[in-house]
Structure 1
Amino acid sequence: MTTRGRSFLAAGFTAVLCSYLLGQDALLRVGVLLAVLPLASVVLLLRTRYRVASGRRLTPHRAPAGQEARVHLRVDNVSRVPTGLLMLEDRVPYVLGPRPRFVLDRVEPRGHREVSYRVRSDLRGRYPLGPLQLRLSDPFGMCELTRAFTTADILTVVPQVQPLPPIRLAGEWTGYGDNRSRAVALAGEDDVVPRGYRHGDDLRRVHWKSTARYGELMVRREEQPLRSRATVLLDTREVGHRGTGPGSSFEWAVATAASVAVHLLERGYAVRLLTDTGLSVPETGASETGGSVSEASGLMLDTLAVVQLSDGSGLSRAEEVLRLSGEGLVVAVLGALDEEQVARLGRLRRRAGAAVAFLLDTGTWTGLRHVLPDVDPDETTTQERLLREAGWTVLRVAAGDSAAALWRLADRSAQGGGETSFTGGAARSWSAEGEGGPA
């Protein structure tokens, strides 16, 4: 019963009691009427047999953080009688806004109604929408009957993807397939040119004679088109980031990793996402997913939408993954580093065709440069120099810097082997020829 129904019932019982004490028959009739009306409404509502179906549609299913998405609800009356007053309420997490409520006066037999509402979140993640709750009410508003559908949908709030300018990167066509012309030049058409087994190779290509000869698993080379490969390394260590909420250095790193991954996918790369915990999303591209670049980008963004800070302290697990298959381009988005981690990154550079590092100066995110006396402002510069000597192209990042402007500094055609200043921020680009070719 609603508040109105309980009030009518209490007033009816009070009137009946007063009529008995005062001996007023007219008051008795009024009390009976007041008490019977809400009880009759309950019986009428319980005997109502509406058959209602619902549907929900999201536009879009993946919404960038800070942008709105629209949810469309449809209610169908599949029974042969018109419905009464319907009240709809969709369950929505508090981060997306208040719960939307709608009132539908009457839905004709076999008819439908459509309503919509908007949701918005500054925090990325996966948020459930629903199930939809439906309330039936009698014409007098004495009682309500609540029912809930069982289906729910998921809205994925992905990091904001910033368009990056097209640049020339070293190592664009390394690390994929076997060049047929090279294999034929080294051996005849009928000869087998084996190579070491790589993760993901078909076991039917194993060449057992060469395996026995070399003492390790060898596979036959096959003619495959050369294709560029890239690995996006995201530093998720909690100790390496500063700040909280959407303005933290970690969220900047996630958004930059998403922008780089989508940009490389659009340029035809087969992109793999890797974190310091060893979590590796397999190489994704239009050919791997059997669809368009947008589908491949969606798979990558879905993973970045739920990535969280880790309690790790090093990059050893990521080094193990890259040591097995680290050819091609490596783009790392890094937080604060120590000497051991810089040394590991130097070893990773030897496995890559080219390497670009976004080195976050995390002290600028919360003003630590002016608050903590033990924060060395030259520490990040020292790390830049060590990574540069190892062959990395280093892009120093401060709070407020633009990923697009920094990415332009990684253009190999614009690098002269020295330091390049970034106007309007604290960014610096270092480039040098290291092991494996120019960065």
Structure 2
Amino acid sequence: MAASWPGAAAGTPVSQDAEERGPLRAAFSGLTTRGRSFLAAGVASAACAYLLGQPDLLRVGALLCLLPVIAVLTTHRTRGRVTASRWLAPARVPAGQECRVYLRLHNPTRVPSGVLLLQDRVPYVLGPRPRFVLDRIEPGGQREVSYRVRSQLRGVYPLGPLQLRLADPFGMVELTRSFRTHDTMTVLPAVEPLPPVRFGGGSRGAGAGRPRALALAGEDDLIPRAYRHGDDVRRVHWRSTAHRGALMVRREESPHQARCTVLLDTRRAGYVLGGMPAPFERTVSAAASVVSHLAQQGYEITLLTDTGAQLPPPGGGGDAMELAGRLMDFLAVVDHSDEPGFERALAAPRDADPALLLAFLGSVDAGSAALLGGLRQRAAGAVASVAAGQLDPRIEQERVAALRQAGWIALSQHPGVPLASLWEQAANELSSTGGGRA
């Protein structure tokens, strides 16, 4: 493989595997049929030389015995020194997309290695184990190979450990080495692109989406700062400039950041059907699509589940895109819960009541709809996407109607219906009711 090693060039950490040399006795157990035949022939020749009194035959026997021993010692030394590295590009992929795995082997010894057989261990859902046969590696040389893996199922999958089978050039010995470490590949839920419709949401700060609270004495009581190169001259505060004899400008207003809470229903009782794609997987994928879409628009997102778990926890925060990555990693491994309802989600502590609440639900009965009504009262606007196609259509319509009576804008997410159409419909209904205004 002629490509350069991306991980080392970019400074990305790669897993370096090392293993101490095993006992020499174990190395001799790697003798092949050819190597054992040479040893047997050498011992037989030495015995015949002793019985027949032929010194030349003894030399032949010694040579036949010495060749496998030299092969064992050489291969054993190379086996203990060969190092391997693994690099994933990328390490986090959406479901259905490929990840390329790069393997590099390096021979730091002064003797060339024999033929190498590589086998990397991968979960069965990623396909068969990749195998490679490499010619000998020159002293100080290296070889690089790569393979692709893909999964339609979200989750975290271990790659490795790498197994290496090393053979000498004469085929007399084969030694197997298993490296200790492994890497992980995160398969994120499938994400569907959403149209850039305006959904609103609460805001923090005094940006354009929120009136700015002024001091009682008026705008002139705002504390200005010294002029910096590149500042807009329209922001010059002339009264402070005249008072201090130097250019002063008004401080920048704090940036506008909309806030939204995403509620994910993980109750096992809410999803009665399996198969592919299961309703639960469609619900998780829809939540991931919305989280990714809102993060790109700069929303401050809080993910809440029926168990009361929150990400980030109250008082937490950080960069919007970094937080979105943490949320996507959580959605990659989220599983069913045994919660009967949403009591713990309703009692979960939070920094402030959300202005925009988006819920992705399974089948919701009358009792759960009533609890969700209490959660909806804390938000200015609330939209619920209900996984449809699990029960009788009439029963599902009644349960969606119960959510609407509780104040939700409830929509049924049928199999095969694009999430983008539901997203636009929810935005239109939210705007018509006035709940989408920041």
Q: Please give the TM-score of this superposition, normalised by the length of structure 1.
A: 0.73
Provide the residue aligned with 1:146 in structure 2.
176
Report SS of the residue matched to 1:347: helix
**Ranges in structure 1 where 5+ consecutive residues have no aligned partner:** 192-222, 364-368, 370-375, 417-431
- Are the equivalent residues in 2 in contact too, given 1:232–1:273 (CA < 8 A)? yes
Provide the residue aligned with 1:131 in structure 2.
161
**How many angstroms does 1:298 deviate by?**
2.2
Q: Measure the CA separation in 2 of the matches of 1:413 and 1:181.
A: 25
Say if 2:347 is the partner of 1:317. Answer: no
Provide the residue aligned with 2:381 in structure 1.
354
Q: Measure the CA separation in 2 of the matches of 1:175 and 1:38.
A: 76
Q: Measure the CA separation in 2 of the matches of 1:140 and 1:327.
A: 72
Q: Deviations over 1:248-270 (max 9, x none)?
A: 11110111000000111111100
Matches within 5 A, 1:48-63: 48=78, 51-63=81-93
Match of 1:299 among 313, 318, 326: 326
Give aligned-pair identity as a percent.
50
Q: How many residues align?
A: 373
Say if 2:165 is the partner of 1:168. Answer: no
Provide the residue aligned with 2:230 in structure 1.
none
Q: 1:47 to 1:3 in 2, by over 3 A?
A: closer
Matches within 5 A, 1:21-32: none
Matches within 5 A, 1:216-255: 224-244=254-274, 246-255=276-285
Say if 2:413 is the partner of 1:383. Answer: no
Letter in 1 for 2:102: H
Q: 1:226 to 1:67 in 2, by over 3 A?
A: closer
**How many angstroms does 1:243 deviate by?**
3.3
Letter in 2 for 1:315: F
Match of 1:408 among 383, 408, 424: 424
Letter in 2 for 1:8: S
**How many angstroms does 1:271 deviate by?**
0.8
Matches within 5 A, 1:1-40: 1=30, 4-5=33-34, 8=37, 12=41, 38=68
Q: Measure the CA separation in 1 of the matches of 2:188 and 2:79.
A: 42
- Are the equivalent residues in 2 in contact too, given 1:60–1:69 (CA < 8 A)? yes
Letter in 2 for 1:348: L
Q: 1:186 to 1:257 in 2, by over 3 A?
A: farther
Q: Measure the CA separation in 2 of the matches of 1:48 and 1:178.
A: 66
Q: 1:140 to 1:276 in 2, by over 3 A?
A: same
Report SS of the residue matched to 2:112: coil
- Are the equivalent residues in 1 in contact too, given 2:288–2:331 (CA < 8 A)? yes
Q: 1:34 to 1:78 in 2, by over 3 A?
A: closer
- Are the equivalent residues in 2 in contact too, given 1:229–1:271 (CA < 8 A)? yes
- Are the equivalent residues in 2 in contact too, given 1:277–1:310 (CA < 8 A)? yes
Q: Please give the TM-score of this superposition, normalised by the length of structure 2.
A: 0.73
**How many angstroms does 1:288 deviate by?**
4.9
Q: Measure the CA separation in 2 of the matches of 1:49 and 1:114.
A: 17
Q: 1:119 to 1:268 in 2, by over 3 A?
A: same
Q: 1:101 to 1:381 in 2, by over 3 A?
A: same
**Ranges in structure 2 where 5+ consecutive residues have no aligned partner:** 1-29, 222-252
Q: Measure the CA separation in 1 of the matches of 2:197 and 2:211.
A: 29
Matches within 5 A, 1:192-341: 224-244=254-274, 246-282=276-312, 288-290=317-319, 293=321, 295-321=322-348, 325-341=352-368
Alpha-carbon RMSD: 3.9
- Are the equivalent residues in 2 in contact too, given 1:174–1:226 (CA < 8 A)? no
Q: Measure the CA separation in 1 of the matches of 2:167 and 2:107.
A: 16
Q: Deviations over 1:33-76 (max 9, x none)?
A: 87776455334433557633322211111111122110011122
